Structure 1
């Protein structure tokens, strides 16, 4: 009687094991085994991290194995089980791998195909085609689109984390509880003693050190020491938390009437301002998106204010980017002066603080939330809806949407919801952040996710013209490493995936220009690279530096309590203190940027593939080569950073998580 040896691996994450009954059925081209209970008498099967083997006897050889069916039935109470994989040794001695890497919940079953990647046209048998179709039909009922707010990318149809499909939930919900994490952060940072004085102002700028003494690092300390200096202000446009705003200025906008006479004392090349522009030495940062955004009014006792600043920047002869002029509103006039380095010390300091606050809001809501979190969720939902497990693109993308749907759902549940944590500290809380996303969607394009195109669109692609832009240089290196030329032919599932992203996830906005189909291999490579880069490298670049650059409150105020100055000569230390966040909001802000800058426990970094969805040797060889390219980039970045007071490491591959998970 032919015998098959079945090996079943249980996951090692929390609660992965089960006491429920597990059954298996083997289905081949020549027959089907009976439904067999996998059980070893006097032995506790399917414990967390266990690998258990069983013999399954059949009446005759089953031929080539097509699928393996696993079933879980309740023993005492429902006990979820996480299966990593099943391996079957056939009577002829061959081994067939069936990757699973998913949860079996309730009295449910899962049907697995072997680990070879297959396009739709590769499936020839009726069973294979039927399995493929049924899997997607089931998933489309589970992973449903929902509009969280009008005019923004669609999200998963779940109001809270516990309503999500089990396969996309966190292993431990406790680990991503924002309220718990922020409370823990505030305790760890020893700032809870200030919380009872929630609305009281600090007495002096030095007082901010009182909530800055517990956790320091090289960059945050350097920021605290040098935040008043113009070079530090300008440097952040290249390598700070939000290095995507600066663009080359080819012509001064009419709304920002800076003249040569205003800035000539700051120009170092014996050129006029217009000549400096023509020479490519002038850059601009325009926060127009903040114009008219509703400021946080959740606390009527403490009015909060927002400014749509415009900043002119100058690359000097030392190739440092320095602020040249700042206007705190979009409409020029007597009540909206242009602040200059030649102004009084406190006028210029306050103008820079306002510009940094504008940058903070744009970073948090557009650069970070919209352009990494929300768009990665769209890709993830569409993937689950349109690509079966055997599709090579599913196998490729899956590690890069790990926990993304979960973290976004948790954010909507606790962080960016009405009366959520976002409202406690941020000037755009109370609905302004939603307005910003809606406005940003009008200019958000697919090409802006393609790193080389985005860099070129801002006119900052040249290393000679703009050196020391490490975000650009490291980003280009990682983009090229991710870029794959593996042959993946066009098929209807890929087309359905791309169309789902555009027509449903992005709500078919005309302005976004997301493709509805992919016609060439080159287009597919770019599309997949954009997905992977956005969810890994781009998120790392704009997320994990938040404590470094934003923990010193005057350098990145999350809100301002006084309106922007409407004339020069009125600023002093007291006005600056009264404008900056009060003690309570400063504490919430500090706890937030600390918590958001932490890696997940058991983080999976770029190039790590803890779940083996691909079993083919050529693919495994490609993964090995990919890791080698990443290791080379890591070594290059490490050498460049040696001895630097401001090292740039956010795009070092060994510090880039695979997915948006925090």
Structure 2
């Protein structure tokens, strides 16, 4: 565990040298050797020459040993535009960082991480203590179940309210979820704007493994139309959890299914479920549940779908596609990009604390005996299998927001898909900002091709994906570079915010999205009653841990750096500073647009409001 000195003091030093050395491009720092290796944090260095010129050397890093530290002048430069001497220094610095940020081989099919955490990527003191305090609150008693008897079923659904004692849920989204969670419209709404808004896609044909017929669902469609006509009209949607098929559970006491769910956009423009099958194999022991079935059957079928959604959200949508993928980009950045490279300066705010929070996740969440194994049906073996399967289908294009929307055929403007609408505005804002920065430093496509550091960065990211051949190995044009960097920034900021900060809202009421199920899925209709449902839902201990964990993961840091906020000035050039101002102004406009839209909504959607999007994956 890192040791933090919370009584840090700030000092400024003035060193006067009368001789004029001309243009200064490099400053060398060296810390004296002491018996105790005291670390020093160097902020910025400014040099004013006798002739009146001023040179800035932003550093903002710890000096942790007695090696010489080379600090480049703050003007961002491509390697091909540097002198031979400076290129040599850049190369030697990157050779050192290759060993400092060595790749760690994860299990086959997993994205690679790094072997160690240098001080520059650790939590700062404020973040560390805030994280620890929230962890204590979540697990140690502030938000956990006060019930005397643990590991037992609840007697009634309303008993889940006991673990919410102490929370003010009036007029909150969680409070509204608690009121309407049983209703079909609320179930369907979450596939659009809940924690996992990436699973739903338009159904173009009913799959053979899900033999839903018109006769089954005609009572839930508009009068006079057939199921096939509604498919053709684009009103039928589907979610499929095939990725969970055959995944082993952690014990014989918990269960997992790979359900399919058919959804319908009704005349009120609501998305509602019209058919659910709890396995990938149709047959007598895998009936298709319908809204016309008895209330307990239908309620439990929906719970099974949301339980599967919980697992896929946590392991794939959240952990893999934001946390672990962002770490691949971060490690490659440190290994391949000089600190004076404009892309390094651009990406640095968007990798803040990512390696540190992932180290916590590996140690506390997905490890053997970690939180995931305690609240879900999976142990490490099952978790690894799900992530490996997800990596097999992960592509570069699947991280490009507009392309994922199009791939799932979710462009329908009449659909109340606020995740899509807000995400497109954020994507465009980031893309325009990145484009402006790239155009400042790259005057041609050839400049991208000749940039050995950016090519090394892209190749390192490709190899860091570990067995995935579906990511670029090189970039040839400025347009490709802009898109690539937009993917990195959007994924670390907006996408993570969209799938992380709603967890307490949607998972705080455990029956709405059970993290695990303790009874097998019914193989026949009419065999379920309320007691069976209560025995299926998470027990008291598990429910408390779910609540505490999702509460902690939904907290913002007090001094959070939100999208467009760059408190540490890494760029010294005025054109980039102007681009940042334009970016910030655009984000303010998007924030205002979202706030005005939300004023007319029963369930406001704010996860992609720029003033609630941290710059990086940091929780």
Fold agreement, TM-score > 0.5: yes
Pairs within 5 Å for 1:269-288: 269-288=223-242
Pairs within 5 Å for 1:192-231: 192-194=145-147, 197-217=149-169, 218-231=172-185
* Residue 30 of structure 1: aligned partner: none
Structure with greater strand share of residues: 1
Of 651-660 and 198-207, more deviation after overlay is shown by 198-207
Measure how far apart 1:521 and its partner are. 1.0
* Residue 572 of structure 1: aligned partner: 529
Alpha-carbon distance in 2 for matches of 1:418, 1:179: 21
* Residue 247 of structure 2: aligned partner: 293
Classify 1:269/1:618 alpha carbon distance in 2 versus 1 (closer, same or farther; 3 Å).
farther
* Residue 589 of structure 2: aligned partner: 632
Alpha-carbon distance in 1 for matches of 2:6, 2:100: 21
Measure how far apart 1:508 and its partner are. 4.1
Per-residue Cα deviation, 1:37-77 (whole angstroms, up to 9, x for no partner): xxxxxxxxxx6344x1313335x321211211112224563
Are 2:390 and 1:431 aligned? no
Q: Mark the structure with the bigger radius of gyration.
A: 1
SS class of match (1:441)? helix
Measure how far apart 1:129 and its partner are. 1.2
Cα contact 1:169–1:406 (8 A) shared by 2: yes
Alpha-carbon distance in 1 for matches of 2:397, 2:143: 44
Equivalenced residues, count: 603
Cα contact 1:269–1:317 (8 A) shared by 2: no
Per-residue Cα deviation, 1:439-483 (whole angstroms, up to 9, x for no partner): 11111110011000000000002313xx21000000000000000
Per-residue Cα deviation, 1:357-395 (whole angstroms, up to 9, x for no partner): 011001000000000000000000011110000110111
Q: Which runs of 4+ in 1 moved over 6 A?
A: 176-180
Per-residue Cα deviation, 1:240-261 (whole angstroms, up to 9, x for no partner): 0000000000000000000111
Alpha-carbon distance in 2 for matches of 1:16, 1:83: 16
SS class of match (2:346)? helix
Equivalent residue for 1:318, pick from 244, 248, 268: 268
Cα contact 1:177–1:410 (8 A) shared by 2: no
Of 79-88 and 628-637, more deviation after overlay is shown by 79-88
Taking CA–CA contacts closer than 8 Å with sequence separation of 6 or more, which of the two structures ends up with the larger relative contact order?
2
Measure how far apart 1:108 and its partner are. 3.4
Classify 1:349/1:392 alpha carbon distance in 2 versus 1 (closer, same or farther; 3 Å).
same
Equivalent residue for 1:99, pick from 52, 58, 68: 58
Are 2:221 and 1:267 aligned? yes
Alpha-carbon distance in 2 for matches of 1:198, 1:175: 31
Of 393-402 and 170-179, more deviation after overlay is shown by 170-179
Measure how far apart 1:548 and its partner are. 0.3
Alpha-carbon distance in 2 for matches of 1:192, 1:70: 53
Cα RMSD (Å): 1.8
Alpha-carbon distance in 1 for matches of 2:127, 2:57: 31
Q: Under a length normalisation based on structure 2, what TM-score does the superposition of the two structures give?
A: 0.94
Measure how far apart 1:213 and its partner are. 2.9
Classify 1:559/1:205 alpha carbon distance in 2 versus 1 (closer, same or farther; 3 Å).
same
Equivalent residue for 1:87, pick from 46, 60, 63: 46
Alpha-carbon distance in 2 for matches of 1:151, 1:570: 41
* Residue 130 of structure 1: aligned partner: 88
Measure how far apart 1:198 and its partner are. 2.8
- Structure 2: give runs of 5+ residues left out of the alignment: none
* Residue 137 of structure 2: aligned partner: 184
Classify 1:177/1:370 alpha carbon distance in 2 versus 1 (closer, same or farther; 3 Å).
farther
Alpha-carbon distance in 2 for matches of 1:658, 1:157: 24
* Residue 574 of structure 2: aligned partner: 617
Alpha-carbon distance in 1 for matches of 2:417, 2:127: 38
* Residue 55 of structure 1: aligned partner: 15
Measure how far apart 1:183 and its partner are. 3.6
* Residue 20 of structure 1: aligned partner: none
Measure how far apart 1:14 and its partner are. 6.3
* Residue 343 of structure 1: aligned partner: 293
* Residue 210 of structure 2: aligned partner: 256
Are 2:455 and 1:495 aligned? yes
Alpha-carbon distance in 1 for matches of 2:481, 2:23: 33
Pairs within 5 Å for 1:588-599: 588-599=545-556
* Residue 161 of structure 1: aligned partner: none
